A = this chain, B = another copy of it.
Protein backbone atom coordinates (compact mmCIF):
# COMPACT_ATOMS: atom_id res chain seq x y z
CA UNK A 1 0.00 0.00 0.00
CA UNK A 2 2.79 2.36 1.00
CA UNK A 3 4.73 1.50 -2.16
CA UNK A 4 1.60 1.86 -4.20
CA UNK A 5 1.02 5.44 -3.05
CA UNK A 6 4.65 6.33 -3.72
CA UNK A 7 4.40 4.74 -7.17
CA UNK A 8 1.45 7.01 -7.93
CA UNK A 9 3.36 10.03 -6.61
CA UNK A 10 6.30 9.13 -8.85
CA UNK A 11 3.97 8.82 -11.85
CA UNK A 12 2.55 12.27 -11.07
CA UNK A 13 6.01 13.82 -10.81
CA UNK A 14 7.10 12.24 -14.11
CA UNK A 15 3.88 13.35 -15.83
CA UNK A 16 4.34 16.93 -14.61
CA UNK A 17 7.91 16.99 -15.92
CA UNK A 18 6.44 15.96 -19.27
CA UNK A 19 3.81 18.72 -19.10
CA UNK A 20 6.46 21.34 -18.41
CA UNK A 21 8.70 20.31 -21.33
CA UNK A 22 5.71 20.02 -23.68
CA UNK A 23 4.34 23.44 -22.73
CA UNK A 24 7.74 25.00 -23.29
CA UNK A 25 7.53 23.62 -26.83
CA UNK A 26 4.03 25.17 -27.19
CA UNK A 27 2.38 21.82 -27.93
CA UNK A 28 -1.41 21.66 -27.92
CA UNK A 29 -3.51 19.87 -25.27
CA UNK A 30 -3.27 16.50 -26.98
CA UNK A 31 0.48 16.85 -27.42
CA UNK A 32 0.93 17.80 -23.77
CA UNK A 33 -1.07 14.74 -22.72
CA UNK A 34 0.96 12.36 -24.90
CA UNK A 35 4.29 13.79 -23.71
CA UNK A 36 3.17 13.50 -20.07
CA UNK A 37 2.10 9.94 -20.76
CA UNK A 38 5.32 8.78 -22.42
CA UNK A 39 7.42 10.47 -19.75
CA UNK A 40 5.58 8.52 -17.07
CA UNK A 41 5.29 5.12 -18.76
CA UNK A 42 7.93 5.22 -21.54
CA UNK A 43 10.77 3.72 -19.50
CA UNK A 44 8.69 0.80 -18.24
CA UNK A 45 7.29 0.25 -21.73
CA UNK A 46 10.74 -0.01 -23.30
CA UNK A 47 11.84 -2.36 -20.51
CA UNK A 48 8.80 -4.61 -21.07
CA UNK A 49 9.43 -4.68 -24.82
CA UNK A 50 13.10 -5.59 -24.37
CA UNK A 51 12.34 -8.39 -21.89
CA UNK A 52 9.32 -9.56 -23.88
CA UNK A 53 6.58 -8.99 -21.28
CA UNK A 54 3.31 -8.76 -23.18
CA UNK A 55 1.23 -6.83 -23.32
CA UNK A 56 3.35 -4.01 -21.90
CA UNK A 57 2.42 -3.10 -18.32
CA UNK A 58 0.29 0.02 -18.74
CA UNK A 59 -2.18 -1.71 -21.07
CA UNK A 60 -3.46 -3.51 -17.97
CA UNK A 61 -3.06 -0.62 -15.53
CA UNK A 62 -5.86 1.90 -16.20
CA UNK A 63 -5.12 3.59 -12.88
CA UNK A 64 -1.93 5.04 -14.34
CA UNK A 65 -3.73 6.49 -17.36
CA UNK A 66 -6.34 8.02 -15.06
CA UNK A 67 -3.70 9.53 -12.79
CA UNK A 68 -1.80 10.93 -15.77
CA UNK A 69 -4.90 12.46 -17.36
CA UNK A 70 -5.92 14.10 -14.07
CA UNK A 71 -2.36 15.32 -13.50
CA UNK A 72 -2.23 16.89 -16.95
CA UNK A 73 -5.57 18.67 -16.48
CA UNK A 74 -4.55 20.03 -13.08
CA UNK A 75 -1.06 20.95 -14.27
CA UNK A 76 -2.43 22.92 -17.21
CA UNK A 77 -5.01 24.70 -15.03
CA UNK A 78 -2.55 25.54 -12.27
CA UNK A 79 0.62 25.92 -14.33
CA UNK A 80 1.48 29.22 -12.65
CA UNK A 81 1.25 27.62 -9.21
CA UNK A 82 3.59 24.75 -10.18
CA UNK A 83 6.65 26.74 -9.13
CA UNK A 84 5.40 26.79 -5.52
CA UNK A 85 5.54 22.99 -5.42
CA UNK A 86 8.88 22.75 -7.19
CA UNK A 87 10.54 21.22 -4.13
CA UNK A 88 7.82 18.62 -3.66
CA UNK A 89 8.05 17.81 -7.35
CA UNK A 90 11.81 17.25 -7.11
CA UNK A 91 11.23 14.96 -4.14
CA UNK A 92 8.49 12.95 -5.89
CA UNK A 93 10.65 12.69 -8.99
CA UNK A 94 13.63 11.48 -6.97
CA UNK A 95 11.52 8.91 -5.13
CA UNK A 96 10.05 7.90 -8.48
CA UNK A 97 13.50 7.26 -9.91
CA UNK A 98 14.40 5.08 -6.96
CA UNK A 99 11.22 3.04 -7.24
CA UNK A 100 11.33 2.76 -11.02
CA UNK A 101 14.95 1.61 -10.95
CA UNK A 102 14.24 -1.18 -8.49
CA UNK A 103 11.02 -2.15 -10.31
CA UNK A 104 13.14 -2.60 -13.45
CA UNK A 105 15.78 -4.59 -11.56
CA UNK A 106 13.06 -6.90 -10.21
CA UNK A 107 11.57 -7.54 -13.65
CA UNK A 108 15.04 -8.39 -14.89
CA UNK A 109 15.55 -10.88 -12.04
CA UNK A 110 12.14 -12.41 -12.72
CA UNK A 111 13.26 -12.93 -16.34
CA UNK A 112 16.43 -14.72 -15.15
CA UNK A 113 18.80 -12.08 -16.44
CA UNK A 114 22.28 -11.39 -15.10
CA UNK A 115 22.86 -8.58 -12.55
CA UNK A 116 24.47 -6.30 -15.16
CA UNK A 117 21.39 -6.59 -17.39
CA UNK A 118 19.04 -6.12 -14.43
CA UNK A 119 20.82 -2.87 -13.57
CA UNK A 120 20.64 -1.80 -17.22
CA UNK A 121 16.90 -2.51 -17.24
CA UNK A 122 16.44 -0.61 -13.96
CA UNK A 123 18.23 2.41 -15.39
CA UNK A 124 16.18 2.19 -18.59
CA UNK A 125 12.96 2.06 -16.54
CA UNK A 126 13.90 5.16 -14.58
CA UNK A 127 15.52 7.23 -17.33
CA UNK A 128 14.07 6.40 -20.76
CA UNK A 129 10.68 7.98 -20.19
CA UNK A 130 12.59 11.25 -20.10
CA UNK A 131 14.65 10.24 -23.13
CA UNK A 132 11.54 9.56 -25.24
CA UNK A 133 9.99 12.82 -23.95
CA UNK A 134 13.01 14.79 -25.16
CA UNK A 135 13.14 13.02 -28.53
CA UNK A 136 9.45 13.71 -29.17
CA UNK A 137 10.11 17.35 -28.28
CA UNK A 138 13.07 17.45 -30.70
CA UNK A 139 15.75 17.91 -28.02
CA UNK A 140 18.90 15.95 -27.30
CA UNK A 141 17.91 13.98 -24.17
CA UNK A 142 18.83 15.95 -21.08
CA UNK A 143 20.19 12.89 -19.23
CA UNK A 144 22.88 12.53 -21.91
CA UNK A 145 24.11 15.95 -20.85
CA UNK A 146 23.64 15.74 -17.03
CA UNK A 147 24.84 12.26 -16.30
CA UNK A 148 24.33 12.16 -12.53
CA UNK A 149 20.67 11.25 -13.08
CA UNK A 150 21.43 7.88 -14.66
CA UNK A 151 24.56 7.32 -12.60
CA UNK A 152 22.64 7.18 -9.31
CA UNK A 153 20.33 4.55 -10.82
CA UNK A 154 23.30 2.40 -11.77
CA UNK A 155 24.86 2.86 -8.32
CA UNK A 156 21.56 1.99 -6.62
CA UNK A 157 21.38 -1.22 -8.62
CA UNK A 158 24.96 -2.08 -7.64
CA UNK A 159 24.15 -1.49 -3.96
CA UNK A 160 21.23 -3.91 -4.23
CA UNK A 161 23.28 -6.70 -5.79
CA UNK A 162 26.09 -6.15 -3.29
CA UNK A 163 23.72 -6.31 -0.32
CA UNK A 164 21.96 -9.53 -1.35
CA UNK A 165 25.36 -11.29 -1.26
CA UNK A 166 25.05 -11.17 2.52
CA UNK A 167 22.69 -13.89 3.78
CA UNK A 168 21.78 -11.83 6.86
CA UNK A 169 20.25 -9.08 4.73
CA UNK A 170 16.74 -9.88 3.58
CA UNK A 171 15.62 -9.05 0.06
CA UNK A 172 13.19 -6.42 1.34
CA UNK A 173 15.92 -4.64 3.26
CA UNK A 174 18.35 -4.72 0.33
CA UNK A 175 15.55 -3.41 -1.88
CA UNK A 176 14.71 -0.55 0.49
CA UNK A 177 18.35 0.38 1.06
CA UNK A 178 18.96 0.51 -2.70
CA UNK A 179 16.02 2.87 -3.17
CA UNK A 180 17.23 4.97 -0.25
CA UNK A 181 20.73 5.10 -1.76
CA UNK A 182 19.34 6.44 -5.02
CA UNK A 183 17.24 9.06 -3.28
CA UNK A 184 20.00 10.25 -0.94
CA UNK A 185 22.66 10.33 -3.65
CA UNK A 186 20.48 12.30 -6.02
CA UNK A 187 19.56 14.84 -3.34
CA UNK A 188 23.23 15.20 -2.36
CA UNK A 189 24.30 15.48 -6.00
CA UNK A 190 21.82 18.28 -6.65
CA UNK A 191 22.48 20.02 -3.32
CA UNK A 192 26.25 20.05 -3.80
CA UNK A 193 26.08 20.36 -7.59
CA UNK A 194 28.11 17.19 -8.08
CA UNK A 195 28.51 15.99 -11.63
CA UNK A 196 31.05 13.89 -13.50
CA UNK A 197 33.92 15.99 -14.86
CA UNK A 198 32.98 17.43 -18.21
CA UNK A 199 35.36 16.48 -21.01
CA UNK A 200 34.49 19.46 -23.21
CA UNK A 201 33.69 23.06 -22.61
CA UNK A 202 30.96 24.85 -24.48
CA UNK A 203 31.85 28.38 -25.54
A55 within 8 A of B: yes
**Complex contact B117–A27 (CB within 8 A):** no
Within 8 A of B (CB), among A123-159: 131, 135-141, 143-147, 150-151
Query: In the complex, A49→B54 CA distance in Å?
Result: 8
Q: In the assembly, how many copies of this chain are there?
A: 3
Q: Which chain B residues border A137 with CB–CB below 8 Å?
A: 140
Residue in B28, B54, B195, B200 whose CB lies within 8 Å of A198: B28
**Complex contact B23–A113 (CB within 8 A):** no
A165 within 8 A of B: no
Q: Which chain B residues border A120 with CB–CB below 8 Å?
A: 65
Residue in B23, B45, B140 whose CB lies within 8 Å of A136: B140
| Segment at the B interface, from A8-16, A30-38, A174-182 | A30-38
Number of A residues, CB within 8 Å of B? 52
Residue in B28, B50, B55 whose CB lies within 8 Å of A113: B55
A168 within 8 A of B: no
CB distance from A57 to the nearest CB of B (A): 10
**Complex contact B45–A50 (CB within 8 A):** yes
**Complex contact A196–B56 (CB within 8 A):** no
**Complex contact B196–A146 (CB within 8 A):** no
Residue in B28, B131, B135, B151 whose CB lies within 8 Å of A145: B28
CB contact under 8 A between A27 and B136, given known A51-B59, A113-B60, A199-B76:
no
**Complex contact A56–B50 (CB within 8 A):** yes
A29 within 8 A of B: yes
CB contact under 8 A between A196 and B138, given known A52-B54, A59-B51, A116-B65:
no
6 A-B residue pairs with Cβ-Cβ distance under 8 Å, sorted by A, are A28-B146, A31-B143, A31-B144, A55-B113, A59-B117, A138-B139
In the complex, besides A30-B196, A135-B135, 7 extra interface pairs with C-beta distance below 8 angstroms are A28-B147, A29-B147, A30-B151, A31-B141, A34-B150, A52-B52, A136-B141
